[in-house]
Structure 1
Amino acid sequence: MHRLFSLLVVPLLAAATVSTVGAPAAAHPSKPFPARIALPDGFTPEGLTIGHGTTVYVGSVLDGAVWRGDLRTGRGSVLIPGTPGKPKAGLELDRRGRLWTADFYTGGASVYDPRTGTRLAHYQFNDGSSTLVNDLVITERAVYFTDSVRPVLYVVPLGPGGRLPAPTAFQVLPLTGPGATPDAFNNGIVALPNGDLLVAQMLTGQLVRVDPRTGGSGLFDLGGYSVDRADGLVLRGRTLHVIRNLSNVIAVVRLNGAYTAGVVQREITGPQLRSPATGDLLGSALYVVNGRFDVESTPSTDYDIVRVPA
């Protein structure tokens, strides 16, 4: 009897074991990242940068608050409380994990600990009159900031090992050529592999290459394509995303090998884009923050981050 029971049950158990191999993964698939992440109502976002893992930071152009969230869960909270009259535009993390912010119409820039929100350094580029310190890019040797009102770049040199310099150790680099076009509204900026900087001009609809040593500049050839309302720039390899805010368009540009010209391969658009300001890449996705510049910002105005295929 015991032998008959074994002959009947053991094969059944073996069959059940074979048939359920890999079943837990099929029964519990990984949850997809949310396509939309809500920000606090009335937040008035402008800058966005992705940090370690799936951590994202968003700055407020209203009062300088910084929101920290998780792109995997969609949850987050305010890391740096806002202060009236202290807005933040562009955000970027350096190789040491420090969070840099362009402090918009106050004419300076700040550096924070991204874990605690403690301010580590501040650089006051001008007296805060007729200025919009808008965006930034971090290279191995320096941090470069655009000013949308003045034809200059602000340069904060980094010391050995990325050491922060003294508060007065910045430079003001005057621009010449098309980079100094009056009322061009220089905005987003990225560093090209050939050493040049690429700057978006929101009101001329052009991109300009800037020599970071001299400030001399030249037009970046887009074959006649206009990037009107160009705000944030996102570069990976030879693919450039130009985020055009009030146009609700993201132009995907393939750069040539010399990084002097590019061809627009496609445009990303859709109802999920509501005056996108800037963005950052994570894997095959581009995350953009909707600034909603076409509506009045009120305490009940909704804002969000949206994910689009890169």
Structure 2
Amino acid sequence: MKNQLLVTALLVAATTAIQVSQVLQKQRAESQAQWRQEATNKFSWNATQELKWSVVNSFIDVQTSPDGDVYAIQSIKGDMSEQKYFVYKYDIVTNIWTILDKTFQAKAVRFDRLGNMYYLTPKNCVLNSNKEEIICGLFDFEVTVNKEIIGLSDGTLNQDTLGSPYHQVYSTSSMYYYKALGGQKGITLLKDEPILIDSNGYVDTRFGTGKFISISAGIDGSLWALLDEDQPSGTDYSLVKWQTVAQKWYKVEGATGINLSAYNEISVALVNKAGLLSLSSQANQQKPVSYTG
């Protein structure tokens, strides 16, 4: 009888130990996952003053391609001439910006996840990589891999909602689909899912309650934004990154700008109020994380 009681006690103890071990393993795995998330906040910054320049005018917009190439828009306006916009591409090896086409103007470039390039002209017309006109009346836009253009209406098109059906439209060589959303001031695609900044600066409640100036998703699903802290218009805004595990935004210390484009977890490009462009790269030490709420 005593032996049976002893065996039973040992079995209960062993079962309890296994359960405790499983709980500890789960907690350890969760902690490791959170650490991996936190550890992505590793940045060093190279300001454009430290690069070799082939242009003298400042940039107003930046865009990274799925291949990691960096494009920027130069704005030129003379005393007696209309404003002009030119597209430049950055060569990482030579540290030189090169104009794509001196005879062509675009005030923004965008890419789908397959790497197809699209342009936004000064007259708010979207062109494909062959520079064929697709649709006019959008002041910003993104494109899915299915040739769906989700744009922000400049008021000249009938305004849609996210739930509206797509409109068919044709370029010279292909068919596309578009929506012209109203009441929004910013857009990015997170793996082809639109994330919008409304006219008051707010995004979907899944991503907190902060206010934002601009937002950008990386090719790997990382999400970055510029935080609106009610500072005066025309100032630089703090760069923040969405932390998936903690479900919070954290500030990247020392990084500010007025426009951004994310490539992945550790690579993002910023344009500041002076028109200077900075590119991030992974550093050896982690900087302190500052949460915004």
Question: Do 2:59 and 2:72's aligned partners in 1 also have CA atoms closer than 8 Å?
Answer: no
1:221 maps to which residue? Answer: 206
Moved over 6 A (4+): 153-158
Show CA shifts across 1:191-250 (max 9, x none): 44xx6421223x41211xxxxxxxxxxx333333222x2x23124555311134845212
- TM (norm. structure 1) is 0.56
Given the alignment, which residue of 236, 250, 257 partners 2:239?
A: 250
Letter in 2 for 1:76: W
Q: Which residue of 2 aligns with 1:144?
A: 149
Between Structure 1 and Structure 2, which shows a larger proportion of helix residues? 2
- Matching residue within 110, 133, 140 for 1:134: 140
Deviation at 1:44, TM superposition (A): 2.9
Q: Normalising by structure 2, report the TM-score.
A: 0.58
Query: What is the 5 A alignment of 1:107-256?
Result: 107-112=124-129, 119-126=130-137, 132-136=138-142, 138-147=143-152, 149-150=154-155, 151-152=159-160, 165-166=171-172, 169-173=175-179, 175=181, 180-181=182-183, 185-192=184-191, 196-201=193-198, 203-207=199-203, 219-227=204-212, 229=213, 231-237=214-220, 239-244=222-227, 246-255=235-244
Deviation of the 1:67 alpha carbon: 0.8
2:63 aligned residue (24, 48, 56): 48
Alignment correspondent of 1:279? 261
User: Aligned partners of 2:227, 2:102: CA distance in 1, in Å?
Assistant: 28
C-alpha contact (below 8 Å) 1:240/1:255 kept by paired residues: no
1:168 CA displacement = 8.7
Q: After the TM superposition, which residues 66-85 of structure 1 pair with which residues of structure 2 at under 5 Å, given as runs?
A: 66-81=87-102
Residue type at the aligned position of 1:35 = N
Q: The residue matched to 1:225 in structure 2 has which SS?
A: coil
Q: Secondary structure at the match of 1:221?
A: helix
Q: Give the structure 2 partner of residue 25 of structure 1.
A: none
- Check conservation: 1:144, 1:156, Cα contact below 8 A: no
Give the conservation status (yes or no) of the 8 Å contact 1:34–1:74: no
Q: Figure out how many residues of one structure are paired with residues of the other and give that number.
A: 217
Post-superposition offset of 1:141: 0.8
CA RMSD, 1 decimal: 3.8
Gaps of 5+ in 1: 1-32, 113-118, 127-131, 159-163, 208-218, 257-261, 296-301
CA–CA separation in structure 2 for the residues paired with 1:58 and 1:80: 13
Return the letter of the residue paired with 1:45. I
Q: CA deviation at 1:171?
A: 4.3
* Partner residue in 1 for 2:85: 64
Cα 1:121–1:92 change in 2 (3 A) is: same
String of CA shifts for 1:136-172, please: whole Å, max 9, x gaps: 2x322124242264444896879xxxxx854794445
Alpha-carbon shift at residue 252 of structure 1 (Å): 1.1
What is the identity percentage for the equivalent residue pairs of Structure 1 and Structure 2? Answer: 9
1:248-299 alpha-carbon deviations (Å, 9 max, x no partner): 212211348xxxxx822411242x5342x121325x532313152xx6xxxx
